[in-house]
Amino acid sequence: MLLLSRKCFKLPKGGRLLDSYKKAVTSERFIVAAILFAIFLGLLLYTLDWPPRAATMPRALCTIALLLLTNEMVSTFRSAGREPSAEEKASRRIPWQVIAAFLAIGVVVPLTMAIGLAPAVGIMGAGLTLIYGERRWWVILLIGAVAFLLMYFLFGKVFGLPMEF
């Protein structure tokens, strides 16, 4: 079967194909994607016992995550045999602003407990605007105010969610 597939698809002879697949499966990208795939698949299976209305959003998010992770694993296999260019290596690095954004979410949760959700999101919006490079104070305040007002009116008034904990 392997001989037939080599002729049909012009695959390399010897162990080069197997080595490239081993390299793909043991790569950091594939391992992280596979672990996340297992987690999201478990979450999707967990929601099967939920009432249909309550499970709609978690099922949709899990399905989207599973599709994206499948794409990541397939692209890892496709790129296993070739060496990445300098531009591809540079694009894999995570900018410090992205890490700061995730840390900001970790700060907003306790801040929400202290001052409420809408003000905490406004402060986070202003802080992230500053982190991402904006230096005009009026723009930073405007973004914070818009984030506050959007959170308050959309989620507090339109959706009727409680803004305090």
Residue 145 has pLDDT above 90, yes or no: yes
Using 50, 70 and 90 to split pLDDT, how confident is the model at 139?
very high
Closest CA to 94 of 21, 32, 23: 32
Q: Are 129 and 144 in contact (CB under 8 A)?
A: yes
Instruction: Encode burial over 29-48: b for 16+ CB neighbours within 10 A, e otherwise.
Output: ebeebeebbeebeeebeebe
Q: Which two tokens stand for residue 2?
A: 């392997």
pLDDT at position 148 is 92
N-terminal to C-terminal alpha carbon distance within the chain? 63
Identify the pLDDT of residue 4.
46
| pLDDT tens-digit map of 79-105 | 766 666 666 666 666 667 777 777 777
